[in-house]
Amino acid sequence: MALLNILHYPDERLHTVAKPISAVDDRIRTLIDDMAETMYEARGIGLAATQVNVHERLVVIDVSEDKSGLTAFVNPEIVERRGDTVYEEGCLSVPGIYDKVHRSEWVRVRALDRDGQPFEIEADGLLAICIQHEIDHLDGKVFVEYLSQLKQDRIRTKLRKREKNTL
C-alpha cells in the first residue's frame, strides 16, 4: 500500500468530474487500499478518488470509531434522498476549515463493492453526510462551494497564505 498525495482547495483538479469505472480489477482494489491508508493517515472518514488526482468514480468511507467499517463505493449513485439537515463539515482537501452545510438527512445509494458486486445502502446521520460529501467530490464540487461567495474568498485566501508559509 502507498500513501497518496491529497489535492488542496482551490486546486482546479478538484473540479474535474470523475468518469465511471468500467471494471473492478486489481488496479481498482489497489487504489481502494491506497486511498483507505491515505484517509486513515490523514485522520479522515471519507476520501474520493478525485481528491488524490484520480478522476474515476470511487469513494472510501469509514465513520466507525475503531476503523473497522471501511466501505468502498465504486460508481456510487444516490437513488433516493429524504429530509433536510445541517451538519458542520470539514474536508481533507480543505484542511482546518469547518462550516455548516445543508444536506439530505437520509439517502439510498447504489454502488459496486471492491469485488465488483452491486449493493445498496440506506444511510442517515454522519454516514449520509459523508456519502453526499464524497459523491460531490466525484462531481467536481467541494463543500465550501455551498457557502457564500465571501466565505469562499476568505477560505481561498487563508489556504493560499498557509501554503506560501509552508514552502
Cell of 53: 488526482
Annotation-wise, does 130 bind a ligand? no
Could you tell me whether strands 71-82 and 106-112 are parallel, antiparallel, or unpaired per DSSP bridges?
antiparallel
Annotation-wise, does 8 bind a ligand? no
Could you tell me whether strands 71-82 and 85-91 are parallel, antiparallel, or unpaired per DSSP bridges?
unpaired
Give the catalytic positions in this structure. Answer: 134
Amino acid (one-letter) located at 2: A
Assign 12 to helix, strand or coil: helix
CA 127 centroid distance within chain: 12
Neighbours of 159 (CB within 10 A): 20
Binding site listing: 91, 133, 137
Binding site listing for Fe cation: 91, 133, 137
